[in-house]
A and B are shown apart, each in its own frame.
Chain A
Amino acid sequence: MVEGTGFAGISETPVVIYNAQRPGPATGLPTRTEQADLLFMLHASQDEFPRMILAPGTLEEAFHLGWHAFNVAERYQTPIMVLSDQFLADAFRSLEADALDFDAVEIDRGALLTDADLDTLTERYKRYQITESGVSPRALPGHPNAVWVTESNEHDEVPRIEEDAQNRIEQQSKRMRKAIAMTEDVPPPTWYGPEGAALTLVCWGSTYGPAREAVDRLNAQVAGAANLLHFSGLEPFPPTAETELRKAHKTVVVEGNYTGQLETLIRARIGFSVDGHIRRFDGRPFKPEFILARLQEQEA
């Protein structure tokens, strides 16, 4: 899987990869849940290429990020990862009939050339043409005016296999440039609960539900006690994350892994150190009671 991801990266093939995380490594606890693949998905493959990581927090968000993932894959011609987990994948919840907004669905094939575009092509088609955005117009094989080889080796624009140093710099930079515009398509972190609360829980993916309920219970005891900052876009790291995190008085990251992968990512990307964390790696999903009990322990 990992080498195929890199192949999609260098060959600029749009692909959506869905990972419902379970505790590992290897077979681990194959029927249980965890959130320990974030940094793996961020780095899976040799070398570097742009990618997007989307981690829906609710069933509704899973629906919308699902189609969004296919659109951004085609817009940027690069792998897009949807990071779910066993808990979210197996979760049942009653939804109102209109909870999923099918009208909002859009289909964007990105810079995909049509037969009509190719009919009028006078020069040799360049699959990996150097462009300012890094995105090269994509033809589908089959048209007489666009005959080319999808390459896993480094290549020039045409593409021929090419090891020239300058060419490598140009092609690698072209691919990496796509990440600039991708930051506009990554969902920003969202708030739940009262502004300016004394405590901010920070979480990602499916931990949204239990964290939200923990926040509700804390606010029922003391108004304005807690709020929640939830990340469903993790790569490219959302540009608003820093401003939002700096609004919080006290931050506690709640996530399902041993080492604190979101916490690590936040520190790596914006140099922000959180105030505390609650982690779980016993294969069980978070529950509000679990979060509240840990908060109490930490205060004591």
Chain B
Amino acid sequence: MVTRDDYRIDEKPTWCPGCGDYGILNALTRALVEHAIAPHELMIVTGIGCGSKLPQYMRVNGMHTLHGRPWPAAQGAKLANHGMRVMIIHGDGDGYGEGLGHFVHAVRRNPGVTEIVQNNKIYGLTKGQFSPTSEKGWKTSTSPHGSAEDPAQPLALAITHGATFVARGYPGELKHLIWLIGEALEHPGYALVDILQPCVSFNKPRTYDYYAERVYRLEDETGYNPANRTAAWERAQEWGERIPIGIFYRAIPGPTFEMLDPVLKEGAPLVKRPLEKLNSAQVESLLAKLR
């Protein structure tokens, strides 16, 4: 049996008191325990940012990579060991800014990876510059006259590029978030959970109070059908007086990227296969191609 103790580690997070990342860490750990996933069966690949330090604050396999680059490492990890659960966790600046190209291409490939985004709509770690999900007009240290950019639409982008599980959570709705992460973990293909993460130090407009007044659950919305892709795409862009959380879109995924790889179709994951020298027949067939 997997327990919360399995994930516990004697390490105090460096996050500010009140940061939304605590709630996300809590929800994630609980979801993992509920779904009986043990720390050694899991690899959490992160980028660089406040939230990306998360694997340091639990007992788990992790890879704390580079800003904007967790996706290449996560896909590599999944290809090297498709028997392992791979999650990718990062901030909005990381995955929707510098890493946006990787994000779109990864979604197109449908790797069997669960993605969680700590979306605080700001660069937290570097102390408050506007990010790709900051809203137009926001004044920050790098946008003193107000950001001139429309925010990125990652959920709509994921739906457009073929994602079959697209959701948004909020740590103020902890039980709901635990459930969402669990559903994402059980999804047999690529799954995205974007999380509204209050940054109490640098995102003054988007506080717990702000979200508490506006978030509503799609699951409570009569007539909302998460199998309807067009409706999901539209709902994914709703933002303002009402902010949806929950599962926007869910469909049965096709085969994952790693399942389509001819080398991985049969036999053990790559890491479990011994590296051996070519035998003489293999050498012969290789040389024959050069003749």
Contact = CB atoms under 8 A, between A and B. Distances in A.
A25 interface: no
* Size bracket of the A interface: 20 to 34
Interface string A4-30: 100100010000000000000000000
B81 interface: yes
B43 A141 contact: yes
Contacts of B27: none
Interface string B41-69: 10100001000010110011111111001
B259 to A, nearest CB: 19
Contacts of A107: 275-277
B11 A160 contact: yes
B58 to A, nearest CB: 10
Contact of B66 (A3, A141, A142): A3
Nearest to A70: B275
Nearest to A106: B277
Chain A CB within 10 Å — which of B60, B61, B77 has the most? B61
B39 interface: yes
A147 B65 contact: no
A180 interface: no
B104 interface: no
B1 interface: no
A158 to B, nearest CB: 10
Contacts of B278: 102, 105
A151 B52 CA distance: 11
Main secondary structure, interface of A, reads loop
Given A109-B275, A149-B63, A141 B53 contact: no
A164 to B, nearest CB: 14
A94 to B, nearest CB: 10
Contact of B62 (A102, A142, A144, A150): A150
A147 B64 contact: no
A240 interface: no
Contacts of B200: none
Interface residues of B, number: 31
Contact of B271 (A7, A106, A142, A149): A142
A152 B53 contact: no
Contact of B64 (A102, A105, A153): A153
B84 interface: yes
B275 A149 contact: no
Given A102-B278, A147-B59, A141 B84 contact: yes
A231 B71 CA distance: 38
A147 B60 CA distance: 6
Contacts of A144: 38-40
A11 B38 CA distance: 24
B121 to A, nearest CB: 24
A152 B65 contact: yes
Given A152-B64, A161-B64, 14 more contacts: A3-B69, A7-B66, A11-B63, A97-B287, A100-B287, A102-B278, A140-B81, A141-B40, A141-B43, A144-B38, A146-B40, A148-B61, A150-B62, A150-B64
20 contacts: A3-B66, A3-B69, A4-B69, A4-B72, A7-B65, A97-B287, A102-B278, A109-B275, A140-B271, A141-B40, A141-B77, A142-B84, A149-B61, A149-B64, A150-B63, A152-B64, A153-B64, A160-B11, A161-B53, A161-B64
